[in-house]
Amino acid sequence: MRYWTKVYRVEMDVLVAVCDEELLGQVFEEGEVVLDVRREFYGGERLSEREVLQVLREATIINLTGEGAVRMGIKSGLIDRRRVLRVQGVPHAQMVTLR
């Protein structure tokens, strides 16, 4: 499986946005919550799980959307499974490193 991955470097922060390949460009809504998997935000490179995990090591901010992407975050210890939001059944998680 491949994942759309985009890396943003802003001053001292590294934001990594990852989504499951098939979710790119879709919008999910549940009540007032909207999860917009925008091509502009997530659509950098298509990477393998191994490549994504390497990129996540340097991240200070992580944005993960989709079963595979969130599972990677949980497996790597970056995401607490109890903190995962689901919108129309699609998992989404974020992590921020505080300094």
pLDDT for 98 = 81
Structure confidence at residue 93 as a pLDDT band (50, 70, 90):
very high
Average pLDDT over residues 64-86: 96
Q: Say whether pLDDT at 74 is over 80.
A: yes
pLDDT for 11 = 92
Q: Say whether pLDDT at 66 is over 90.
A: yes
Q: Say whether pLDDT at 99 is over 80.
A: no
31-48: pLDDT as tens digits: 999 999 999 999 999 999
What are the C-alpha distances in Å from 56 to residues 6, 32, 33? 11, 30, 26
Rounded CA-CA distance 30/33 in Å is 5
Alpha helices in the chain (DSSP H): 39-42, 49-56, 67-75
Cβ neighbours of residue 37 closer than 8 Å, sequence gap 6 or more: 19, 23, 24, 25, 26, 27, 28, 65
Domains assigned to the chain: 2-85 (3.30.1860.10)
**48: its two tokens:** 């393998």
